[in-house]
Amino acid sequence: MKLKGFLGYLRRNPALGGGLGVLLFLLLFTTVGRLFIDPDHAYAMSVPINRPPSAEYPFGTDSQGKDLFAGMVVGTGMTLTIGMTAGAIGLGIGALLGFTSGYYGGVFDTIVKFIVDVLLTIPSFLLLLLIATTLADPSALRPMQMALILSIVAWVAPTRTIRSQVLSMKERAFVMMAKLNGMSGMEIILKEMMPNLLPFLAISLAGAVSGAVLGSLGLEALGIGNRREPTLGMMIFWVRYYAAFIRGMWWWILEPVVAIALVFTAFLLISIGLDEMANPRTRRKV
Amino acid sequence: MTRLIPLRYFLHRTLYLVAVLWVAATLNFVLPRLAGRDPILERLTELEASIGGHRGLWVAEAIDSYREWAGLNQPLWGQYVQYLQNMLNMDFGYSFSRNRPVWDVVSYALPWTMGLLGTTTFISFALGTFAGGLSAWRRQDRLLNVSVSLLMALAVIPPFIIGLVLADTLAFRLKLFPIAGMFTPGRFVDLGDIEWWLDVLHHAAVPALALLLGTAGSWAMGMRGMMVTVLGSDFIAFAEAKGVKRLRLILSYAIRNVMLPQTTLLAMSLGSLVSSVTLVEIMFGYPGVGSILESAIRAFDYNLIQGCVFFLILSIGLATFVLDLSYPLLDPRISYRKQT
Amino acid sequence: MSERQNGPLLQVRDLKVYYHVEAGAVKAVDGASFNLRSGKKMGLVGESGSGKSTMALAMMRMIKEPGRIEGGQMILDGIDLVSLSEEQMRQTRLRRLAMIPQGAMNSLNPVMRIDRQLVDGMIDHGITFSRDERDDRIEALLRSVDLDPKVAKMYPHELSGGMKQRVTVAMSIALEPDLVIADEPTSALDVVIQRRVMETINRIQDELGLAVILIGHDMGLMAQSVSRLAVMYAGKMMEVGDTVDMFREPLHPYTQLLIESLPVLDNKGVFSGIPGITPSLLNPPPGCVFHTRCPKAWDLCREEIPEFAEVAPRRWVACHLHTAS
Ligand SMILES: Nc1ncnc2c1ncn2[C@@H]1O[C@H](COP(=O)(O)OP(=O)(O)O)[C@@H](O)[C@H]1O
Ligand SMILES: [Mg+2]
């Protein structure tokens, strides 16, 4: 029943439907796809090198001897996992800071707002670069360490969005009522505001995840990250390292590029769709 | 001046700029110490151990001058004060991988990066804004809709990934454009020479195209959404009821108001634009700050990494500052509205 | 100003405006007719959603997608507005007919000073003036709506809601049009200010001899300031007549219900409203659109659409009670 209503809604909100569809496809590709590959072949020196796509290696192989089909299945999953982990942590911190600072206001809010604004001006990628190069051995970062580093900047945008939503919601009648009824601040945040802000939390999450993926791609393309793992960003790094262009290995370039495009398309469409859900533009004024 | 730009607002924005720069400088100082290491000293010591003899002597000297520059014999807060003083004096230390002061290396590359970034952002912003606005105005136009949608689809892909594909096709396969450098090797910089400029453009064309294709769509998307909102607003309807001419309706009423959120969008995007230009440069070996950054990372030249990052942040800080100051000129409400 | 005594200033004939939405055509105005003599003030009343704003926009020829004027005529001083070109219509706006908007809060361009917004419409109608003439004109206009001339140099956000509404009034009368359409001009303001702004509008109407169409949903309020009333229901005209006659003897059952439901002053009766819900404009009921809520409906009402007919001099009604013989 509920599922049917949801599917019906997706029909009216094609952006959300399309975005979730692409995301579902990617998730299936990385999970169900594992049934068709040998995960070991996603790593170097497991298959013959430099093979164009063929029946045996449908995605071809690279110059390190990875089966790119296996590499794409494992790597896309890894990149999504990194992005989602960092995005989720970022949203968690963002929600905590956004709700408390927006709701309670005062000096705490002023400080949070100031820090957020300053950090929004500083390009997060450069910040990540600085952190990644000073904190650890750049070429041996494990995926989860990468996710943690990415989450250091992933909370900024969600904090900003959630805080401004809380600020505008604070003035609304039902929050005032709850306050008059003697609900505590935490209760109001959890019981009254949270449910109403769900679409905005979801938008923030989508933004945070795609921001984190972008960050991981940028770092990995520079070789910062685990060079052993076949993440999408690392593929880009090796493509450049082995100058795949000069050697005409188009498949090696094209595959990660398509996967990356799909990932970002999915999250963009999802946030456009969620935005439509949160404030329907088609709502007509009379 | 204060009539156009309210003093309070001006001071507020200045405070911001200072805060951004202070945070940038402090991060450079704090991060390695948080990690409990001094990567510069480590690297120099490593080098000293690996190269002996005559050149080893040079490294030993470098270590001494680094100690002095960083004030390593002082307590932590003293080191910090000295660090900030160095920054204020534009003294960013020494890049051992380039064997030159960091300032020299970065200041040579910065104009190329800013030139590439400034030009492409200007073109992309103008083009995207125009296309987006037009497509909101003429929603029936098929060709327009298709091309704007295409731009929007491209904007989903990070510019450096687009760059990768363009480098493969335009530069390597079709050999239409050079693959690296900012002008043909061996040429001398000659600002008065048209051919030199053409050569520069030729070298910058593909990276610029990557940035353009990767960003124009997002301006178009923002513009279209906001234009649709503004066109549906009460004051547009009332202006139409007043019988103002169509051109005035578009320029003084619609565009004038859409430019406010559009400028905000531009200011907010500067950070990601700089990240993009850095990565695009690296993809093409375009020798701006991005490429220097990459080679600094390869050489573990932390002084240079920090210098590059600081200068990029400085540039963004200044650009944001200028945009912020232009805002009250666009929107008379700015001094009244609370900043959010 | 028009001196025509014979014949109406405005004749609306069988006007139809439909919004073409996914589910079909919303018949927001479906065959409405009425006349208005110059210098007179007419009230257009009806529940929300009955098509009043659509009617106002249609008269300004400002119906936007997905809406369209499907048919009918709007003859203003001998010229059919429906047949004018875009550019001719633009020139007609402000000069011949003007509008006072519903939401004065957002009806002014936020980034332009009041004086420029006051004159740009005039300039686009070919008026040229010297600097001094311009300033004098602005001052006179602002004074005529009881505003301080200093307002000229201000931005909209520096004005209160009432002041903004006065500014829009000043703009609409800048070229002394024959007809001003005011769509619930004060509904967004608080009661005291509402009254004062209405007083200003009434005074100006007297001074300039404008014809005014005042749109509202409160029949009682309306009765105090207009000489003629037009009652709309579900996109159709139900009854048109002089205010006094209509209150003395309402002919249409809908009008009767509207008047009965008015709160009586002394016993502070509750506003009862009219039972039932407004019909869908996508699939209007067959026959008379009001029959679903009409206490006096009979078979004919469910089958045949009543004709909108002049049952007494200058008294029009669309109801089988009065037209079926
Ligand atoms: N842009 C539009 N698209 C679709 N339907 C519309 C549009 N504008 C108005 N309507 C419909 O037309 C009818 C009349 O609306 P309106 O003229 O605003 O009524 P009123 O001003 O009397 O409240 C309503 O049913 C409304 O839903
Ligand atoms: Mg209305």
Q: What is the pLDDT of residues C25-42, one digit of tens each?
A: 999 999 999 999 999 999
Q: What is the mean pLDDT of residues B282-306?
A: 88
**pLDDT tens digits along A33-82:** 999 999 899 998 888 989 999 999 999 999 999 999 999 999 999 999 99
What is the chain B residue with the closest CA to A282?
B229
Show the tokens assigned to A194.
Answer: 């949270």
- Report how far Cα A9 is from the mean position of its chain's Cα atoms: 24
Per-residue pLDDT of B160-176, as tens digits, reads: 999 888 887 777 777 77
What is the number of CB-based contacts under 8 A between chain A and chain C?
3
Q: Give the residues surrounding ligand 1 with Cβ less than 6 Å away.
A: A 284, 286; C 19, 21, 26, 28, 46, 48-54, 66-67, 281
Considering the domain boundaries, does residue A9 fall inside one? no
The answer to whether the CB of B41 falls within 8 A of the CB of B66 is yes
Judged against a pLDDT cut of 70, whether residue B133 lies above it is answered with yes
Residue A1 placed within a domain? no
Q: Is the pLDDT of residue B126 over 60?
A: yes
Write down how long chain B is.
Answer: 340
Beta pairing, strands C228-233 & C309-312: unpaired
Residue B65 has pLDDT above 90, yes or no: no
In the prediction, which pLDDT does B38 show? 79
- Parallel, antiparallel or unpaired: strands C67-76 and C10-21: antiparallel
Query: How many domains are there within chain B?
Result: 1
Q: What is the CATH classification number for the domain harbouring C187? A: 3.40.50.300
How does DSSP assign C248-308, residue by residue? HS--SHHHHHHHHTSPPTTTT------SS-PPPSSSPPSS-TTTTT-TT--HHHHHSPPP-
For residue B179, is pLDDT > 80? no
Q: What is the pLDDT of residue B36?
A: 75
CB crowding A34-71: b at 16 or more within 10 Å, else e: eeebeeebbbbebbeebbebeeebebbbbbbbbbbbbb
Q: Is A286 on the interface with C (CB under 8 A)?
A: yes
Average of per-residue pLDDT across B14-22: 93
| Cβ-defined contact of B161 to A257 (cutoff 8 Å) | yes
* Within-domain flag for C2: no
CATH number, position A192 = 1.10.3720.10
The two three-digit tokens of residue B233, written as one number = 């607003």
Spatial neighbors of C53 by CB under 8 A, at least 6 apart, are A286, C102, C183, C215
pLDDT tens track for C140-173: 999 999 999 999 999 999 999 899 999 999 999 9
Q: Does B27 touch chain A (CB under 8 A)?
A: yes
User: pLDDT by residue (tens digit) across A143-185?
Assistant: 899 999 999 999 999 999 999 999 988 888 788 888 888 888 8
Any B CB within 8 A of C177 CB: no
The complex's ipTM? 0.90
Q: What is the pLDDT of residue C115?
A: 95
Q: What range defines the domain where residue B251 resides?
A: 115-300
**What is the pLDDT confidence band of residue B200, given thresholds at 50, 70 and 90?**
confident
Q: Quick check: is B127 in a domain? A: yes
- Measured between alpha carbons, how far is A267 from A230 in angstroms, rounded to an integer? 22
Nearest beta carbon to residue A123 from set B274, B302, B340:
B274
Q: Domain tally for chain A?
A: 1
Distance between CA atoms of residues A256 and B168, nearest Å: 14
For residue B173, list chain A residues with Cβ-Cβ distance below 8 A: 245
Number of domains in chain C: 1
Parallel, antiparallel or unpaired: strands B100-101 and C228-233: unpaired
| Mean pLDDT in residue range C123-136 | 94
C4 assigned to some structural domain: no
Residue B304 scores a pLDDT above 60: yes
B228 in any annotated domain: yes
Residue C318 lies in a domain: yes
- CA C49 to ligand 1 center in whole angstroms: 6
Domain ranges, residue C67: 10-323
Confidence of residue C324 (pLDDT cuts 50, 70, 90): low
Q: Is residue A26 part of a domain?
A: no
Using a CB-CB distance cutoff of 8 angstroms, which residues of chain C are in contact with residue B245?
Answer: 90, 124
The label of the residue with tokens 């993440």 reads A231
Which pLDDT belongs to residue B1?
42
> Is A11 part of any domain?
no
pLDDT at C273: 66
Residue A212 lies in a domain: yes
B152 lies in a domain?
A: yes
User: CB A264 to CB B158 under 8 A?
Assistant: yes
**Ligand 1 atom at minimum distance from C57 CA:** 17
A interface test, pick of B41, B168, B215 with most A CB neighbours within 10 Å = B168
Is the Cβ of B165 closer than 8 Å to some Cβ of chain A?
A: yes
Distance CA C133, CA C130 (A): 5
Q: Would you say residue B308 lies in a domain?
A: no
Q: What does the pLDDT read at residue C269?
A: 46
CATH of the domain at B259: 1.10.3720.10
Q: What is the band of C223 on the pLDDT scale with cuts at 50, 70, 90? A: confident
Distance CA B226, CA A19 (A): 22
* Amino acid letter for position B66: Y
Question: Distance between CA atoms of C318 and C288, rounded to whole angstroms?
Answer: 9
Average pLDDT, integer, range A261-272:
94
**Could you say which of B237, B238, B332 has the minimum Cβ distance to residue C111?**
B332
Q: Note whether residue C3 is domain-resident.
A: no
pLDDT at B327: 86
* Residue A203 belongs to domain spanning: 31-278
Ligand nearest to the CA of A284: 1
H/E stretch holding A252:
helix A250-278
**pTM for the whole thing?**
0.83
Distance (Å, whole) CA C168 – CA C164: 6
Indicate whether A286 belongs to any domain: no
- The answer as to whether A111 is a domain residue is yes
Peptide bond connecting B32 to the previous residue in cis, omega within 30 degrees of 0: no
Q: Bigger pLDDT: A197 or C277?
A: A197
Give the confidence band of A284 by pLDDT, cuts at 50, 70, 90: very low
Looking at residue B174, its pLDDT comes to 73
Q: How far apart are the first and last CA of chain C?
A: 43
pLDDT for the residue C268: 47
| pLDDT over 70 (residue C265) | no
Q: Please check whether residue C141 is in contact with residue C170, taking contact to mean a CB–CB distance below 8 angstroms.
A: yes
DSSP-based three-state secondary structure for C213: strand
Residue A144 lies in a domain: yes
What is the number of the ligand 1 atom nearest to the C-alpha of C50? Answer: 22
